[in-house]
Structure 1
Amino acid sequence: MEGRLVVVVGYDGVELVDVACVTSGFEHANRRGAEPAYRVVLATPAGRSVRSDSGLEVRGQSGFDGIRGRLDTLVVSGGLGHVEAAADPRLVGQVRRLAGASRRVASVCTGATVLAAAGLLDGRRVTTHWYYARELAERFPRVRVDAGPVYIRDGVVATSGGVTAALDLTLAFVEEDHGPELAREVAMGMVAYLQRPGDQAQISQFTGVPRPEQALVRRVVDHVVAHLDADLGTASLAALVGVSERHLGRLFGEHLGTTPARLVRDARLEAASRLLVTTREPMTAVARRCGFASAEGLRQAFTARFGVPPSRFRAERARARDPGAAGLSWS
C-alpha cells in the first residue's frame, strides 16, 4: 500500500472514541498536506463488523490475515471488551505478528491490556486509563504501569491514557512524522487543545474543582488543574492573569466561595487521592506529581483534610477493592 499504513485494531466492545480520535486525526493530517499521506485501516476479527461498547456497530475494512508486509503504525484500541480481546489467542497472536512488522506500536486506553497479553509491554513503562491501571499492573507484573501521564513513549511502543488521550498521541505521531506546524493545524482543525504534553497528568482533568463562569477565574482554575506540580502560589496566579493578589482573592470569594490557596490545596489533594488508589507510585512520586514539596508535606496536608495518612488511605482502598489484597506491598 502507498503512504504510511496505519492499522487500527478493533473488536467487540471497542470504544468508538478510541478509534475515531486516531482515524480522524490522521485523516485531518492528510487534508492538510501530510506527505507521505496516511492510509488508515480498521482491522477486526475476520474483517467483520464489531459492536462498540456504546452499542453502535462499526464495519471492519480488513481481517488481520489480510494485512501483510510492512506497517508504519499499529494502534490497538481500548474499550470495555478489552479483557475478552486479550483472552482471545487468535487476536493476540495477530497483534503480535502485526507489531513485529510495524515501525511503531501503540495502544489507546485499555488497549494496553491486549499489548500486554501479547508480551509486547514486558519491561516497558506504560500507561493506560487511570481507572484500570492497578488491574493492568496486577495482571501483568512484568509491565511497569504509570497511570499518571497522558501518554508514554518507550522505544517503539507508545501507550496512552483514557479515550481522548488518543488524540494527544496521534498529534504526537503527526508531529514526529511531519513537524510541529502540521500537528498544530490538525489540532486547530479538530478544535482540540494544542497538544497536551505526554507527561501531563491524566487525573489533572478530573478534579472536582468547579469551573466558574467568570472568564478570569476560569482561566486560573484551568491553569491550576493542568499544572498541579507548578508554582501555584497566589502571587504567581495573580501575575498569570495580570491582577493584584487582593483582586484575585475577591474574585475567588465572589465566584467560588473560596480562596486561591484553598482551591490549589483541594485540587492537589484530590489528584493525590486518585494516584494513591490507581497506581503503585511511591509517596515521594505522588507528592511530586501533585505539587507537594515532599512526602511529609503530602502526609500532613492529606491527614488534615481526610483524617487519615495517605498510606492508610491507600491500604484501605486496596482492601475495599480486593479483600484478598491485604498482603499486597504498596509503597
Structure 2
Amino acid sequence: MTGQRRRIGILLFDGVKALDFVGPAEVFSETNLTTDAYELRFYSPTGADVTAFMGLRIGVDGAASESGPLDTAIIPGSERAPAVFDDADLQRAITDLARQARRIASICSGAFGLAATGLLDGHPATTHWKFADALASRYPRVAVDSERIFTKQGDIYTSAGVAAGIDLALSLVEDDHGAEVARSVAQHLLVYMRRSGGQSQFSAALKMPVPRTSIARAVAEYVSDDPTRATSVTELAAHVNVSPRHLTRVIRDELGVTPAAYIASLRLELAVNLLESGASIAQSASASGFGSPAALRRAFLARYRVTPSGYQQRFRSTVAPPAGELSA
C-alpha cells in the first residue's frame, strides 16, 4: 500500500455503539492531518442509513457487498450484543467485508460478529470484560482472553471496550507508519500510546460500587486528603464517629471489601494517576501512602500483574515490551 491511501471500511448497523467506531475513525482521521494515509468508508448491511444505540441517525457510503477492496475492515460493537449479531444480514455483511479486506478488526462486542461468522475459530480474542464470559460460552472454539486490551493473530484483531478501540487503531497506525507517527497522533488526541496491564485495571475499579453512604464517602475523602497518614480501622472509625465494628460492617456491606482493602484500592488508584502524570516510582509510592517502591510494586503485581516500571514502559509504544522488561 506504499504511496497510496489505505482504505478503511467500517461496518455500521442499527444499535451500533457510536464510540466503538468514532474513536478508531478519529485516530485514522488525525493521522491524515500529517500523512494523508487513510480513506474512511462507512457501510451498512443493505446500504441504508442506520440508527446508533444512542439514537443518532447515521448515513453510510453504501452496502457492505459493494465495498470493493479494503485495507482494513472494522466491526464495532453494540450494547445489544450478542443478540444483534445473530442477524443473518449483518453476518453476511461481515463476511463480505472480511473477504475484501487485508485485515479485519473488531471493537468491543464486535467480536461476537467475527465469532458468529467463524472468523475467530482457533484465534485468540478479547472483548469488553462484561461480555467475555458470554463470548467464551457461545463460541468455545475461540480462545477468549478477558484480560487483554487487544489481540492480534495474523491479520485478525480484536479489542476490548470503547477506548480500547483507540488503542487498537493506534497500533494499526504504528504497524502502517511507525511509532513516531502513532505517537504524534496519540499526543494530539491526548491519549496514551498503550495503556498498561489488562482489563483487570478497569473491571476491578468499575465493579467496586461508588460510595453511597456518608460514612463510606467520609472514609474516601479522608484517605484522599492525605494518603500518607495512618489509617487503621480504629483511627478511621474515630474520624467518622462510629465504632470500628460498625465501620467494618458498613464498608463490607456497601463495597464488599474490608476497610483495609478499600483504603489499599484508593491508594493504588492514586499511585496509578501519579505514574501516568510522569511521577517517578519512588515519588508515586511516597505520595500515595505506600511508604516504599517495594510496597507499591507488590500492590501493582497483585492487582494488575505488572510492575510500576512495566506500567510506565508500556506507554512508550502500542507494542508491549518483552516479558522480561516487565519484571523489573
TM superposition score normalised by structure 1? 0.66
CA contact (8 A) 2:9 2:74 kept: yes
Query: Partners of 1:225 and 1:113 in 2: how far apart?
Result: 35
1:52 maps to: 52
3-state SS of paired residue (1:137): helix
Residues 198-237 of structure 1 mapped to structure 2, 5 A cutoff:
200-208=197-205, 212=224, 221-222=271-272
1:212 and 1:58, CA in 2 relative to 1: closer, same or farther beyond 3 A? farther
Query: Partners of 1:215 and 1:99 in 2: how far apart?
Result: 51
Query: Partners of 2:28 and 2:134 in 1: how far apart?
Result: 31
1:30 and 1:212, CA in 2 relative to 1: closer, same or farther beyond 3 A? farther
Deviation at 1:114, TM superposition (A): 0.3
Match for residue 28 of structure 1 among 27, 30, 49: 30
Question: Which amino acid is 1:67 matched to?
Answer: S
Residues 154-233 of structure 1 mapped to structure 2, 5 A cutoff:
154-196=153-195, 200-208=197-205, 212=224, 221-222=271-272
- The number of equivalent residue pairs is 249
CA contact (8 A) 2:106 2:159 kept: yes
Comparing 200-209 and 88-97, the one that deviates more: 200-209
3-state SS of paired residue (1:122): coil
Deviations 1:25-45 (A, max 9, x none): 1010011214xx211111113
1:240 maps to: 281
Deviations 1:263-302 (A, max 9, x none): 877776666xxxxxxxxxxxxxxxxx478xxxxxxxxxxx
2:242 maps to: none
Larger gyration radius, structure 1 or structure 2: 2
1:84 and 1:63, CA in 2 relative to 1: closer, same or farther beyond 3 A? farther
1:297 maps to: none
CA contact (8 A) 1:14 1:52 kept: yes
2:61 maps to: 61
Query: Partners of 1:125 and 1:224 in 2: how far apart?
Result: 33
Query: Partners of 1:27 and 1:42 in 2: how far apart?
Result: 13
- Aligned-residue CA RMSD (Å): 3.4
CA contact (8 A) 2:8 2:71 kept: yes
Residues 229-268 of structure 1 mapped to structure 2, 5 A cutoff:
240-242=281-283, 248=286, 251-253=287-289
3-state SS of paired residue (1:158): strand
Deviations 1:97-139 (A, max 9, x none): 2212211110000000000001000000111111110100000
Unaligned segments of structure 1, at least 5 residues = 227-237, 272-288, 292-331
Query: Partners of 1:161 and 1:45 in 2: how far apart?
Result: 23
Question: Which amino acid is 2:130 matched to?
Answer: Y
Unaligned segments of structure 2, at least 5 residues = 209-219, 229-266, 308-328
Deviations 1:70-108 (A, max 9, x none): 210011001113334321112212211221221111000
1:282 maps to: none
TM superposition score normalised by structure 2? 0.66
Query: Partners of 1:204 and 1:219 in 2: how far apart?
Result: 9
2:93 maps to: 94
Residues 87-126 of structure 1 mapped to structure 2, 5 A cutoff:
87-126=86-125
Structure 2 residue 17 is the aligned partner of structure 1 residue 15: yes
Residues 73-84 of structure 1 mapped to structure 2, 5 A cutoff:
73-84=72-83
